[in-house]
Amino acid sequence: MKSISVKEILSTKPEGQEVSINGWVKTFRSNRFIALNDGSTIKNIQCVVDFEAFDEQLLKQINTGAAVKITGLLVESQGRGQSEEIQVKEIFVYGTSDPETYPIQPKKHSMEFLREQAHLRIRTNTFSAIMRVRSALSFAIHQYFQQNGFNYFHAPIVTGSDAEGAGETFRVTTLDAKTPPLNEDGTIDYKEDFFGKETNLTVSGQLEAEAYAMALGKVYTFGPTFRAENSNTTRHLAEFWMVEPEVAFNDLDDNMDLAEDFIKKVIHYVLENCLDDLEFLEKRLLDEEKSKPQTERSEMALIEKLKFVSENTFKRVSYTEAIQILRNCKPNKKKKFKFLIDEWGADLQSEHERFLVEKHFKCPVILFDYPAKIKAFYMRLNEDGKTVRAMDILFPGIGEIVGGSQREERLDILKEKMKALDISEEELWWYLDLRKFGSAKHSGFGLGFERLVLFTTGMSNIRDVIPFPRTPQNAEF
């Protein structure tokens, strides 16, 4: 008999029909009630066993974590807590699970413990809910761009460039680590390396996406990016997924409009399609926050917060205005910030970003027109000669979720900026070509996908919203 999913069963009218389900046992109570889950939904199906009709040895194998096939009749539930249940006729055990050693017991485990069991943590309600939301968000992202005339562009993973110029790249090489070939001056001879030059894992697909936007008009990337920043925070991963749309003929205002509309629509999609999981995650968050002092608790419950963001306009503020606000705010005057804001030109730290979003504006904020000095080389210089057409989107509880800009399309100015920052023209000859042949204004941004998943699920550590996190000193699994 063909098996169907728990999700399908729960939307089927129980009329005593025979059904068959594959799944994993969550609990087996009183030798009578099996709660079965197959990952299709947060909900379990209750399977009622008449223990006298089954072999004792078979029932002993039905432990938490065991994989089983259950066949029986789908009927209206006698008990409370569920509307339907299965009266079990047959049980097949694919694989039992030793209750003494199975790490995922039906009780509360700490997130830290579960990170060490990342191959099994997905069997918990919390992680299965997160990963279903993550999957739905991915789909919503593709849907949004595909419906709006964008082409999905696959940026290369191995590249010779460091788009952000932060020098935080992972090197890709086949050279022998102990005895690499050397130049006469003792430096490593990368001509001997696999690609005949120094290469690294990409930190961003932007530069290549620009080439494609200048022919296809509207493109987006959605793929893994890699950064060897040694920041052990709850917001940073060494391998994370980024969504990067790039649009020819868009200026910074168009770019901000696109980013805002895009984020609202994908959050709306999840509200429409993942309500069961969001309700579960909302309860989880409320429980977690009970142990925190009142001042650190969220003002809105998860679903209310998602609705708020998807329905309200983001506040747009220039960097210069933001500095005014920060300079005069209480935590700055009372020296509560770790990095005090004194002069125009200071780089904003996450404490400042979060103050603006959570305390001052109390809504998502788009900051734009940053000082050129603190932003990447490719951003378009403003008339004032000191700011660039950059924008960052800041979210409550997260800080920066999006970074983007209008790109410098003027060859002479771009070359000047590269020279000032010691970026080689030879390396980026092809990027400069884009400014020689049919150059035009264009803009794009990068959304950190895991930061979006963090926000949407109400989780607090980025390690818990990607299946197998890579962070400093950690690449298990």
Residues that bind ligand 4AD (CB under 6 A): 163-164, 204, 206, 227, 229, 236-237, 240, 242, 244, 400-405, 444-446, 448, 450-451
Residue 9 binding target from Mg ion, ligand 4AD, none, CB below 5 to 8 Å by type: none
| Token couple for 177 | 């680590």
Cβ proximity to ligand 4AD: between 355 and 455 the closer is: 455
Half-sphere exposure of 395 (CA within 13 A, CB side): 25
Cβ proximity to ligand 4AD: between 68 and 242 the closer is: 242
The sign of the dihedral angle between the CA atoms of 86, 89, 94, 99 is: positive
Residue 26 binding target from ligand 4AD, Mg ion, none, CB below 5 to 8 Å by type: none
Report the distance separating Cα 287 and Cα 299, nearest Å.
Answer: 14
State the minimum distance, in angstroms, from the CB of residue 212 to ligand 4AD.
12
Half-sphere exposure of 315 (CA within 13 A, CB side): 18
> Which range binds Mg ion by CB under 5 A, 110-118, 231-239, 402-410, 418-426?
402-410
Question: What are the Cα distances from residue 222, in Å, to 70, 154, 237, 270?
Answer: 39, 8, 16, 18
Residue 200 binding target from ligand 4AD, Mg ion, none, CB below 5 to 8 Å by type: none
> Which range binds Mg ion by CB under 5 A, 144-152, 218-226, 291-299, 401-409?
401-409
Report the distance separating Cα 152 and Cα 138, nearest Å.
Answer: 13
Residue 450 binding target from ligand 4AD, Mg ion, none, CB below 5 to 8 Å by type: ligand 4AD
Cβ proximity to Mg ion: between 403 and 444 the closer is: 403
State the minimum distance, in angstroms, from the CB of residue 453 to ligand 4AD.
10
Cβ proximity to Mg ion: between 76 and 347 the closer is: 347
Report the distance separating Cα 219 and Cα 151, nearest Å.
Answer: 5
Q: DSSP string covering 288-351, please? A: HHHTS-GGGS-SS-HHHHHHHHHHSPPEEEEHHHHHHHHHHSHHHHTT-SSS---STTPPPPHH
By the 8 A CB rule, do 133 and 453 touch?
Answer: yes
Residue 451 binding target from Mg ion, ligand 4AD, none, CB below 5 to 8 Å by type: ligand 4AD
Residue 227 binding target from Mg ion, ligand 4AD, none, CB below 5 to 8 Å by type: ligand 4AD
Is residue 134 classed as helix, strand or coil in its secondary structure?
helix
According to CB under 5 A, which one of 396, 403, 448, 458 is a site residue for Mg ion? 403
Please report, as ranges, the residues that interact with Mg ion according to CB under 5 A: 403
